[in-house]
Chain A
Amino acid sequence: ETGVTQTPRHLVMGMTNKKSLKCEQHLGHNAMYWYKQSAKKPLELMFVYNFKEQTENNSVPSRFSPECPNSSHLFLHLHTLQPEDSALYLCASSQDLQGAGGYTFGSGTRLTVV
């Protein structure tokens, strides 16, 4: 365990479903991130939150909706996804946006859209 916990580990959903990914950290970090890792592609930064406020949306389609109710929890709400959205979704946290101590990543949620 890295200190960043993601649930579920695996998720299969239909294109008309609505589901949510959850990320939790109790490291005392104030910044949290969502990344997407598709097969054979580099990790792509999706969203950045700092002290619960979204500071960056990296041109992510609206079918992905993040939520950060507090500095310890981060959600990614999914609806009407496409098969090409199938990927590993990774959550990360850092002490602050400067990330001097590095980022801590979770193990990810493997999403399959059918």
Chain B
Amino acid sequence: DAKTTQPNSMESNEEEPVHLPCNHSTISGTDYIHWYRQLPSQGPEYVIHGLTSNVNNRMASLAIAEDRKSSTLILHRATLRDAAVYYCILRLNYGGSQGNLIFGKGTKLSVKP
């Protein structure tokens, strides 16, 4: 499986934007970039995913570098409820075992009031 590298932890202030980086220098052309987050005492939650173009949804934005070797998850206004572990995952875009979600250690985001 292609690997991703994320900082172990980050801090943010409430109502400020947060940029969570992810490096994936060995990404292949068929790998999608997925982001999940896990709040305390809960299972992971899907946030967003993309292939080449930047993506936006109600939760966040995903900015993908032109060479696709890195990406950034953007939370436009952090709230206390955004404190979680954020996982950046590469995933092949077809079925079979190669399509499974394989989690790394993620980035633990703390949000200060």
Contacts and interface: CB of A to CB of B under 8 A. Distances in A.
A70 interface: no
Contacts of B49: 102
B95 interface: yes
A103 B38 CA distance: 13
A50 B100 CA distance: 12
A98 B93 contact: yes
For this complex, into which size category does the number of interface residues on chain B fall?
20 to 34
Given A56-B97, A96-B95, A45 B102 contact: yes
B99 to A, nearest CB: 5
Interface string B41-61: 111111001000000000000
Contacts of B68: none
A48 B97 contact: yes
For this complex, into which size category does the number of interface residues on chain A fall?
20 to 34
A105 B94 contact: no
Nearest to A91: B43
Contacts of A91: 43
B46 A42 contact: no
B101 interface: yes
Contact of B101 (A50, A55, A103, A107): A103
Nearest to A100: B93
B43 A97 contact: no
